[in-house]
A and B are shown apart, each in its own frame.
Chain A
């Protein structure tokens, strides 16, 4: 407890501090709220944000993924499962020798580290900006190739494509867009 002689001064400073605090809250009441009304209003993510994966296609519609499973090897959470199958000229999915017949990511395991993106030799798997990844059952936590694969660009054809023999003869395609 303070000395009696100090009391008036302490009371004055106390009242001043109190008034300053009240003024601060009053000022903040007049500010514009910072709230973003989420489902209606969405804040854009950062440029390097790592959200849900997408399997990319070339412009002609072929899948970039060649089923090498390097992403699965790089994945520290063991969330990716890839099964490859051979491409044929009758049923061609990717410009390489093989394609991913099964591509599954377990979103309950994925830690969004982006190592799969780094490991991919054809830049087929890319972590996008989608962060709305809720699901209701455990089964639906496994995203299949159908979910992950992006839509065909305008002018492209869906896979499997029927191509002329000899057009694609490399096991790993060039990084340029094959066959324009």
Chain B
């Protein structure tokens, strides 16, 4: 392994981390603006032109907040939990390609950090880790609301991960590969997978909403019942880390949805101008995020037992059905 390759990877990692952190900051702004417009309000417009500096102001505020640790909390795990939540959210984007090859300074560079051949599996594995952070946060806070939030979130995320995994199977079967790069290349030939996998895409969408604890599945942080759920005892930067994890995961799952079902970084004129790749991916992610925010603005929180019933009795059978149909059709038409 030569040094320049190492440097290239480091630079690409830094770019991803930077994009995710800025993306997180401006996703909060985007969400607040869209929600405000849907509630016939204006939204943040005080800090900077059109409120564009609002995320900066929020970040500064959170940094200067006092860090409280409850007296009877398990301190080590209490400190560890936010890190355990945010790190998987940060590394999850590594396998998503954000463009084709480009030539820069006489070097052919893949836009994308690591298009590993088990990309989908990697995503499944990493998304599952973050539930530990939430459960540990709930448990170590020594607070009944936090505990309940953590319990709920473990149950919810485990149930919806099954449907999510089964929704991943459709594109994997169609592409015949678990690498996200191959899935995108296959969509270049066949067209977007959402055409072949409408049910799979819907199941994926619902399951990801539950997976990242977004409304209407924001059961772990149900304000009315659990005050704030698993992060009720967290303040300052540690709270910001949980917040960051949630929003970065939103970005990540939207990028997966775009990659698996909506052609990833591909769009018109992509072969002539490879630099359009990140732009297309960005646009698709923004549109999908709008969908998430729109759903949040529309639907009330689902009751906990209904959530579990929906996950186990409807979503998983539907996902299984989708897998069976996809597999049978592929065999009949002579796919790989």
**Interface residue ranges, A against B (CB under 8 Å):** 1, 18, 21-22, 24-26, 28-29, 31-35, 37
> For A37, what are the chain B residues with a Cβ–Cβ distance below 8 Å?
42
Known A-B contacts A1-B309, A1-B313; the reply to A24 vs B40 at CB < 8 A is no
Q: Chain B 29-41, CB within 8 Å of chain A: the 1/0 string? A: 0000010111111
Which of A24, A32, A35, A37 gathers the greatest number of chain B CB atoms within 10 Å? A35
In the complex, which of the residues A24, A31, A32, A34 contacts B298, with contact meaning CB atoms closer than 8 Å? Answer: A24
Question: Is B108 part of the contact surface with A, judged by Cβ < 8 Å?
Answer: no
Q: Establish whether residues B37 and A33, one from each chain, have CB atoms under 8 Å apart when the complex forms.
A: yes
Interface class of chain B by DSSP: helix
B297 an interface residue at 8 Å Cβ cutoff? yes
Interface pairs A-B: 4 shortest CB-CB: A35-B42, A25-B298, A29-B38, A21-B298
Q: Mark B179-196, 1 if CB is under 8 A from A, else 0.
A: 000000000000000000
B residues 290-335 touching A (CB-CB < 8 Å): 294-295, 297-299, 309, 313
Known: A21-B298, A21-B299. Is A28-B313 also a contact (CB below 8 A)? no
A85 → chain B closest CB, angstroms: 49
| Closest chain A residue to B45, Cβ basis | A37
Tell me which residues across on chain B come within 8 A of A28, comparing CB atoms: 38-40
- Smallest CB separation, A37 vs chain B (Å): 8
Contact of A33 among B34, B42, B294, B298 (CB under 8 A): B42
- Kindly state the separation between the CA atoms of A93 and B146 in the bound complex, as whole angstroms: 67
Known contacts A25-B294, A34-B41; 7 further A-B pairs (Cβ under 8 A): A21-B299, A26-B38, A29-B38, A33-B36, A33-B37, A33-B41, A35-B42
Can you name 21 A-B pairs with beta carbons within 8 Å? A1-B309, A1-B313, A18-B299, A21-B298, A22-B294, A22-B295, A25-B38, A25-B297, A25-B298, A26-B294, A28-B39, A28-B40, A31-B40, A32-B40, A33-B36, A33-B37, A33-B41, A34-B41, A35-B41, A35-B42, A37-B42
Complex Cα distance, B38 from A24, in Å, reads 9
Report B's interface with A, CB cutoff 8 A. Answer: 34, 36-42, 294-295, 297-299, 309, 313
Complex-state Cα separation, A87 to B39, whole angstroms: 60
Q: Which residues of A contact B295 (CB under 8 A)?
A: 22
Contacts of B40 in A (CB 8 A): 28, 31-34
| A34 CA to B40 CA, complexed, in Å | 6
Q: How far is the CB of B293 from chain A (nearest CB, A)?
A: 10
* Residues on the A chain within 8 Å of B309, using CB: 1
| Complex-state Cα separation, A33 to B39, whole angstroms | 8
Chain A residues, Cβ within 8 Å of B34: 29
Question: In angstroms, how far is the closest chain A Cβ from the Cβ of B327?
Answer: 23
Would you give the shortest CB distance from A72 to chain B, in whole angstroms? 43
Which residues of chain A are near B38, meaning CB under 8 Å? 25-26, 28-29
B313→A29 contact, CB < 8 A: no
Contacts of B313 in A (CB 8 A): 1
Interface centre among A24, A25, A31 (most CB of B within 10 A): A25
**What is the bound-complex CA distance between A25 and B292, given in angstroms?**
13
Contact A29 B41 (CB under 8 A): no
CA distance A1 to B308 in the complex (A): 12
Q: Which residue of B lies closest to A23 (CB)?
A: B298
Q: Write out the residue numbers on chain A whose beta carbons fall within 8 Å of the beta carbon of B299.
A: 18, 21
Known: A33-B42, A35-B42. A22 touches B37 (CB 8 A): no
A24 proximity list for chain B (CB < 8 A): 298
Residues in A whose Cβ lies below 8 Å from that of B37 = 29, 33
Please give, as numbers and ranges, the residues of chain A lying within 8 Å of B36 by CB-CB distance.
Answer: 33
Q: How far is the CB of A88 from chain B (nearest CB, A)?
A: 55
- What residues of B have a CB within 8 angstroms of the CB of A1 in the complex? 309, 313
A21 to B299, CA, bound (A): 8
CB distance from A53 to the nearest CB of B (A): 32
Name which residue of chain A comes closest to B291, CB basis: A22
CB distance from A132 to the nearest CB of B (A): 19
